[in-house]
Amino acid sequence: MQKGIFINYHDSYLPAFKGLNSSTWSILGKKKTHGCTFHIIDEGIDTGPIIYQKKIIIPTHYTSHQVDLKNILNGFELFKKILRDIFIKKIINFKYQKNIGKYFSKKDLLKIPLLGFIDLSWKTEKIIRHFNALKVSNFKKNFVLNPKLLTKNYQILEIIDIKVIKTNKSKNKIKLSKKKKMFFLKKNKKILKIEINKDLHKLEILGSKEIENYINKKNINL
């Protein structure tokens, strides 16, 4: 009796970023490219022989969710190739993975700096990178995978969007908008427009020390 095979779609360009939340780890790792892979399932996790894969360039403004959506579109095209191979060519070609790569589990999310809180004292590039990495689909969202701020009274504010809107020579300063669900942060020569999930009349955001004290006391539920 002929032994069958099982095929898996994985949302990274294997052997890089095996396991979960690969687009988040790719953006946090400052990678310029990402991708998706169809591979044969073996006894390991995302270690099986590769059938098809496609690489994409990660634009600097892309969130993790946008990278995932791009991968899904590419994955659909790759799957059509697999069906063609099965039903027309009657054969599936594959190649073995040469490198080990790195595996990420759900528990690895606890290694993300400040567990998804954004520290506004960070450099602009780091703020944007962490926001993009943590902005995932509602299906993936949890306590860590959700970019957020912490106020002085320990209110958690989800960050909906961040945009660099202009350059400016002003010193660092927070200014509330008349639309009370957003504020503007002046950082050196840039202004960040930050949209949040709640109305605010005043804004006192806690920094790293206070955030660390908060999350050390909290039982994090992933």
Radius of gyration of the chain (CA): 21
Q: Cα-flanking dihedrals φ and ψ of residue 217, to 5°? A: -90, -15
Q: Which amino acid would we find at residue 214?
A: Y
Q: What is the per-residue pLDDT for 1?
A: 34
Q: What is the per-residue pLDDT for 168?
A: 62
Q: Per the confidence metrics, is the pTM higher than 0.85? A: yes
Q: Cα-flanking dihedrals φ and ψ of residue 214, to 5°? A: -65, -50
User: How far is CA 106 from its chain centroid?
Assistant: 13
Residues in the chain, pLDDT under 50: 1-2
